[in-house]
Copies of this chain bind each other. A is one copy, B any other.
Amino acid sequence: MYNRTIVLTKGERTRKAILDTAAALATQEGLDPLSIGRLAEATGMSKSGLFAHFGSKEELQLATVDHAAAMFVAEVIAPARAAPKGVARVWALCERMIDYSERQVFPGGCFFAATSFEFNNRPGPVRDRIEEMLRSWLSYLEHAVEQAQAAGELDESLSAREIAFQLDSFAQASNAQFQLFRDPAVFGAARRAIHDRIQSLRPARAA
């Protein structure tokens, strides 16, 4: 009733469980190679029963991307918003990003790093939604850098966009290298790189 968004119906609960599994498996096996049958097996459902929740594989993929986006927001963006505007929030965003990769919120690393490489050359709504999500992440990071610059906490000689590019690069690289080499030391390297870069961009009077 008035509680419908909290007390979920059976179908909604199942759907959520499917998407949790789908997002996790997508980072390991790929979003497209993940077949309906494979996902049905992983969730203990029948192919057709699972399929009925989405109507097509593409709709399933879109729902999976949306679900992963909500998880990313909950794990990275929302907690970082607790930090005060300025350099503290910039650092919090980067730290949360690395943490989210290191804790393996998704077993195959960052969902959007994985799927963006998979879909970047396949036009269609799935690619569009992944692109939009990564674009908004970078925009948000850039915005946080702008606020830090406006507060006089970061040098303005380099554009907020390029600063965001550099900080994000380190986080992305640590995610990618950990997935490939499985050496958690890269997370430390990324944290130091980000910390040092932020320090080097602090105006003289603030350093």
User: Nearest residue in B to A161 (C-beta to C-beta)?
Assistant: B189
- Whether, in the assembled complex, A181 has its beta carbon less than 8 Å from a beta carbon of chain B, the answer is yes
**Docked complex: A131-172 residues within 8 A CB-CB of B:** 131, 134-135, 161-162, 165-166, 168-170, 172
| A117 interface neighbour in B33, B107, B117, B192, Cβ under 8 Å | B117
With contact pairs A108-B120, A117-B117, A181-B135 given, residues A170 and B176 touching in the complex (Cβ less than 8 Å):
no
**Docked complex: A92-123 residues within 8 A CB-CB of B:** 107-109, 113-114, 116-118, 120-122
- Whether, in the assembled complex, A46 has its beta carbon less than 8 Å from a beta carbon of chain B, the answer is no
* A165:B180 contact, CB within 8 angstroms: no
User: Nearest residue in B to A164 (C-beta to C-beta)?
Assistant: B189
* B131:A180 contact, CB within 8 angstroms: yes
Question: Interface with B: A24-32, A47-55, A67-75, A76-84, which one?
Answer: A24-32
A192 to chain B, nearest CB (A): 7
- Whether, in the assembled complex, A179 has its beta carbon less than 8 Å from a beta carbon of chain B, the answer is yes
Contact count band on A: 35 or more
* A172:B176 contact, CB within 8 angstroms: yes
| A165 interface neighbour in B30, B117, B121, B173, Cβ under 8 Å | B173
A205 to chain B, nearest CB (A): 20
* B114:A117 contact, CB within 8 angstroms: yes
A165 to chain B, nearest CB (A): 5
What residues of chain A have their CB less than 8 Å away from a CB belonging to chain B?
27-30, 32-33, 107-109, 113-114, 116-118, 120-122, 130-131, 134-135, 161-162, 165-166, 168-170, 172-173, 176-177, 179-181, 186, 189-190, 192-193, 200
12 contacts between A and B (CB under 8 A): A27-B121, A29-B122, A32-B33, A114-B117, A117-B118, A131-B180, A162-B193, A165-B173, A165-B177, A165-B193, A166-B189, A172-B172
